Structures are given as C-alpha cells and as structure tokens.
C-alpha cells in the first residue's frame, strides 16, 4: 500500500507522466522505495480511478499523447492521513542475517566471496546516498528544486531538513552494514583457521 503514498509524495513536488515517475523510481526514489514500471502504471490508473490523482493528456510528437498526473485535494488529504497514522513496525526478513547465523555450514571461501560482494554493493550504495544528500543540501536535486519553488524560504528549509534527515538514516544504516561486513571478515578467518 505504501507504493501509493510514495507516488503521491513524488507528485507533490511537481506533476509528472508515468514515464517520468518510472525514471525517478529507478534512480533517487529507489533509495527510499523501489518499484518496477509494471507496478507503477497500473497503480497510477487505480489511483486515478480512486480520485487521488487526475491526469491531463499532453500531446507528444505528431500523433501520440502522454498522461501527466496531478495530485487531487482528496489525494493530498489521504496522504496526510497516512502520514499521521501509526507506522506498523516492519517484520524482520533479511536473508543476509539468516545466512550469517549459519556461516559455519558453508565453505569459508564462499562466505568470504559473498562478504566481498556485499561490501562492494554497500560501498557503492553509500556513495550514492552521500551524493544525493549533498544535492539536497545545496538544493540542486531536481525533484526537490521543483518542490521548493512554490515554498517560502522557511518552509523550503524545513522540507530540505526532512529529506536530509531521511538520508542521514539511510547513510547510518549503510555504514552499520559495512561495519558488520568488516566483522564478518574477521569471523570467516576463524572459521577457516
């Protein structure tokens, strides 16, 4: 259900077509919420049907049109409702921890290899998060820039702080994963030694 709110959140910045949204979801939004095209387009249609969005047909090329989605008052009200409703704690379901608990069942070399892969992944992820955080602070981030255009300086500052706060959480998580992976290398030495 959160996909719905992630879509509204994005569209409060500026109206977008399904394609624009889909591109955002494969870049910056993906840090907070991932979804493939095949989930986005049908959900946009359902949201329009439910009155949370309206769409404007925009000519594209000679014959084609594209649909630009706008958040309705109803959509914004529902978004606020969700924002203020209690957050249900996520159930733990991360294969990395499950595997770690049983590292003694696997070949230490294979474990080391997996740790290396995870390390590369999280290092790249962390770098991306830090780049995005910087683009929020200096307000060069395109979606943020579009959003804060409509706001006064005080409101803009608060909007930026919230986004930076979210990224700080993600960055802390990434660092914590990397520290844990580092400890994993020490553990695997014991397993093979």
Partner DNA sequence: CCACTCATGTAAACAGTTACATGATTCT
Partner DNA sequence: AGAATCATGTAACTGTTTACATGAGTGG
* Footprint on this chain of DNA (rule: CB under 7 A): 1-3, 17-20, 22-23, 34-39, 41-42, 44-45, 60-64, 66-67, 91, 93
Length of the chain equals: 193
Cα distance between residue 99 and residue 82, in whole Å:
35
Task: Kindly give the interhelix angle for 2-13 and 18-26, rounded to the nearest 10 degrees.
Answer: 110
150 binds, among a second copy, DNA, none (CB under 5 to 8 A by kind): none
Other beta carbons less than 10 A from residue 91's beta carbon: 5
Q: Residues 160, 148: contact at Cβ < 8 Å?
A: yes
Among 14, 31, 66, 70, binds a second copy (CB under 8 A): 31
Torsion of CA 35, 25, 136, 124, to 10 degrees: 70
Query: Least Å distance between CB 36 and DNA?
Result: 4
**105 belongs to the binding site for a second copy (CB under 8 A):** yes
Residue 182 touches which of a second copy, DNA, none (Cβ within 5-8 Å per kind) = none
Question: Which residue among 67, 78, 141, 163 contacts a second copy (CB under 8 A)?
Answer: 163
Instruction: Give the nearer residue to a second copy in terms of CB position, either 44 or 188.
Output: 188
- Our CB check for a second copy shows the closer of 66 and 166 to be 166
Q: Cα–Cα distance between 52 and 132 in angstroms, integer?
A: 29
Strands 16-17 and 53-59: unpaired
Q: Does 101 bind a second copy (CB under 8 A)?
A: yes
Between 19 and 82, CB nearer to a second copy: 82
In angstroms, the CA 164 to CA 157 distance is 10
**Distance in angstroms (rounded) separating the CA atoms of residues 99 and 112:** 13
Enumerate binding residues for a second copy (CB under 8 A).
2, 5-6, 9, 12, 30-34, 79-80, 83-84, 86-107, 110-111, 114, 117-118, 121, 125, 155, 158-159, 161-163, 165-166, 168-170, 172-173, 176, 179-180, 183-184, 187, 190-191
């Amino acid at each position: 259900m959160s996909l719905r709110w992630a879509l509204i959140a994005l569209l409060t910045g500026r109206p977008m077509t399904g394609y624009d949204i889909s591109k955002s979801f494969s870049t910056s939004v993906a840090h907070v919420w991932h979804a493939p095209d095949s989930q986005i387009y049908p959900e946009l249609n359902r949201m329009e049907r439910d009155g949370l969005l309206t769409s404007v047909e925009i000519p594209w090329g000679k014959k084609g049109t594209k649909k630009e989605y706008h958040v309705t008052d109803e959509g914004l009200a529902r978004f606020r409702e969700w924002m203020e409703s209690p957050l249900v704690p996520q159930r733990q379901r991360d294969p990395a921890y499950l595997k770690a608990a049983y590292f003694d069942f696997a070949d230490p070399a294979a474990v080391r290899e997996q740790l290396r892969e995870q390390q590369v992944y999280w290092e790249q992820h962390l770098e991306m998060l830090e780049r995005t955080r910087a683009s929020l602070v200096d307000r060069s981030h395109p979606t943020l820039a579009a959003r804060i255009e409509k706001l006064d300086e005080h409101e803009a500052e608060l909007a930026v702080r919230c986004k930076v706060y979210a990224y700080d959480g993600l960055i802390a998580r990434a660092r914590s994963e990397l520290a844990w992976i580092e400890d994993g290398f020490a553990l695997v030495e014991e397993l093979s030694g």
